[in-house]
Amino acid sequence: GGSPGNGSPQSPSGSESPLSRTAIEGPRIIPAPRKMEAGTGAFAVGGNTRLEFGDGVDGERLGGYLTGLFQETYGIGLGTAGNVPDSNVIRFELTAGGSAGGPEGYSLASSPSRIVISAADSRGLFYGAVTLWQLLSKQQGGFVVPAVTIEDSPRFAWRGLMLDSARHYQPPEFIRKFIDVMALHKLNVLHWHLTDDQAWRLEIKKYPRLTEVGAWRVPAGPAAAADIDPATGKPRLYGGFYSQEDVRDLVAYARSRNISIVPEIDMPGHASAAIAAYPKLAVLDRPSPDVPADWGVYPNLFNAEEATFQFLEDVLAEVVTLFPGEYIHVGGDEAVKDQWKASRRVQARMRELGAKDEHELQSYFIRRMETFLTSKGRRLIGWDEILEGGLAPNATVMSWRGIDGAVAAAASGHDTVLSPQPTLYFDRRPFDTPTSPGRVEISTVENVYAFDPAPAAISEEQRKHILGVQANLWTEHIRTPARVEFMAFPRAAAIAEVGWSPTKDWAGFSERLSAQLERYQVLDVRFAEAPMPRPV
């Protein structure tokens, strides 16, 4: 239908919701463009507006995306009125070495008669389209785009969110929506945490028990009557997994929105679900046959047998066929070494492999995986614990225990992604109210915005190793997709601006945030509606 959907922004004369102060104000773009100058007048968007594509532009894909977005969010039917005058044109063109320059950059020039978006690559054109969507404002006569000139390109190449789909499962439809909303923030990496103690969520053809067994668990705690299966009298299993077909669809979907999915297969710790499925992978002779349902750091580690390395390489071989992106994440976090220390078999293996201590065994483990991934043309990334015992030669470090890991990585010439707790941990509460979910610690949208992606602890010269920033959504305490949204937004808008825009402007950001919240409503995305710092 051609009418604005539920929750589209109110006209200024509309209801008095605090979110209805829309439109009339100037452009409120998040993340802020590098350069923007206001012109005069506005371009009216609607049934007379024609999309035009220059040489080499995939107009079907880009036009399909833009037309769908305009229709679904604001009920705008582009180019449906037939008799199209030449002046009412939105043109996309590829310009080698264009003025915006650089990967993902674009320029956008709008006037009352014409909008031209140009970029050096299709990613830039896509982001031009996203900016165009954010420029829409509803006036009495319909939607307009104000006259403006924008030159834009990102500060960092890695602008990520991590979603933990192991502790709680989100269906593929939700992942798709999450991708859509990420793209509208110009975020470009979805780090997908697919395996952990509490579940293995990725179908692996060679090892079907990983998901037959590893994707399901008996929920912790006393079961409510509704959770008892009448057929067995036992609690229903909680779980779910992503088939390889689901994954292929999601990867292609993400790619069409400039998002690369970086899968994470966690090792050598966080391995309980895999071990429940295949006990031979364990250090213990008789590991628990159950997938654990409670939180915390588990002692279960993969052993260091050749057969286990073979298993992991087989898994990664399937992973690389599913995920075409450059990076594969192998975890490495929180692998307490007690089981390795206590096992005579592992100690014997350490001597065979020439590892002096358990850290060196972990280092050997990760190097093995790196050699394998390199042979497949990929790069290994892992949590900062992979520094312990010696970093694999080409590894990229994701720094989560503060930024020390990033400092060490950059100092030794390795690339790094900044995703430190507490600030960039979105399982922490976004503000201090007794009812807000999440961990007790608080990281407000202002805290996130204040995060410095160019820390002084890393020398200016070494900062080239900072690929970018990422916020992490661990889901022990985030049980539903709606809650993922609540915890992700609007803090994701803050990290998007930190990763994209050249300078900080908290006052401007918080003013523009009101427009972003309206967009969330239009998109039917839940958000934590209190962009205020903690009251004192």
User: Using CB under 6 A as the criterion, which residues of the chain lie in contact with ligand TNX when the complex forms?
Assistant: 333-334, 383, 400, 425, 427, 474, 476
Residue among 116 and 469 whose Cβ is closer to ligand TNX: 469
Residues in the chain: 536
Q: Which of 521, 528, 530 is nearest to 21 (CA)?
A: 521
Task: Find the DSSP H helices in 198-258.
Answer: 209-212, 244-255
Residue among 402 and 508 whose Cβ is closer to ligand TNX: 402
- Using CA atoms of 528, 529, 531, 534 in order, give the dihedral in degrees to the nearest 10: -80
Catalytic residue among 72, 313, 334, 524: 334
CA atoms of 59 and 49, how far apart (whole Å) = 15
Pairing of strands 137-139, 142-152: antiparallel
**Amino acid identity, residue 227?**
D
Min separation Cβ 382 and ligand TNX, Å? 9
Look up 334 and say whether it is catalytic: yes
Residue among 121 and 476 whose Cβ is closer to ligand TNX: 476
Look up 529 and say whether it is catalytic: no
Question: Backbone phi, then psi, for 20, in 5-degree steps?
Answer: -100, 10
CA atoms of 507 and 499, how far apart (whole Å) = 17
Min separation Cβ 216 and ligand TNX, Å? 20
**Tell me, what DSSP letter sits at residue 240?**
-
**Amino acid identity, residue 506?**
W
Residue among 297 and 353 whose Cβ is closer to ligand TNX: 297
Residue among 334 and 446 whose Cβ is closer to ligand TNX: 334
3-state secondary structure 77-96: CCCCCCCCCCCCEEEEEECC
Distances (CA, A) of 233 to 219, 229, 236: 14, 5, 9
Residue among 9 and 269 whose Cβ is closer to ligand TNX: 269
Min separation Cβ 385 and ligand TNX, Å? 8
Min separation Cβ 484 and ligand TNX, Å? 14
- Using CA atoms of 338, 342, 347, 350 in order, give the dihedral in degrees to the nearest 10: 0
Whether residue 222 is preceded by a cis peptide bond, meaning omega within 30 degrees of 0, is no
Min separation Cβ 21 and ligand TNX, Å? 36
Min separation Cβ 420 and ligand TNX, Å? 10
SS3 37: strand
Look up 227 and say whether it is catalytic: no
Whether residue 490 is preceded by a cis peptide bond, meaning omega within 30 degrees of 0, is yes
**Phi/psi-derived region of residue 23, left when phi > 0, alpha when psi is between -120 and 50, beta in every other case:** left
Residue among 297 and 307 whose Cβ is closer to ligand TNX: 297
Catalytic residue among 104, 151, 164, 196: 196
Q: How far apart are the first and last CA of the chain?
A: 48
Catalytic residue among 168, 191, 193, 270: 270
Min separation Cβ 199 and ligand TNX, Å? 12
SS3 65: helix
Catalytic positions are 196, 270, 334
